[in-house]
Amino acid sequence: MSSDKPPAGPPTGAQLGDALMRTTHALRRFAGQPYQQRGWSPSRVLLMLAVDEAGTPRMGDLKDRLGVTGRSITSLVDGLEEEGLLERRHDPGDRRSTLLEITAKGHEHLGEIQALHEAHAELTFGILGDAERATLLDVLDRLRDHVAGRLPEPGDHRSPPVA
């Protein structure tokens, strides 16, 4: 039986985690709307942004960074390459690897993605004042750093420390 009264004392870690997960889910769904209205999948947008941020990354590195399968990234890259937004290049340092590069048309598309992102992010966070934005950013950065410090290194399949 649930009560409408707030719990006595500060929220527990479980309550904070649940609230953050619900908020993250809602934010992801809301953030995808302007792209979906143009027929762009969130995966496509994330891949374009990741390639832009990394410069000329290896496909395998992006696969790991985005947490997708090899088949998924290949399908995404195939589609973006067919549209003329990305190009595959041979990696001169590793014949087995493929590099990705954004084309001129891809840079135009990326400009549209970034403009949509900035406008939609302002709409999303417009409810917060300057001080609240600064506090939220600080709290999120601290939480990310705390959790990231407890994650295993890539390729290390041992369980991270619990306490």
Q: What is the pLDDT of residues 112-157, one digit of tens each?
A: 999 999 999 999 999 999 999 999 999 999 999 999 888 877 666 5
Domains and CATH numbers, the chain: 38-148 (1.10.10.10)
Euclidean distance between the first and the last CA atom of the chain, given in angstroms as a whole number: 32
Let me know the angle formed at the C-alpha of 108 by 106 and 109, rounded to the nearest 5 degrees. 60
**Distinct helix (H) and strand (E) counts, the chain:** 6, 2
Phi first, then psi: give them for residue 56, nearest 5 degrees: -130, 75
pTM above 0.85, yes or no: no
**Length of the chain counted residue by residue:** 163
Residue 56 near residue 65 (C-beta atoms within 8 A): no
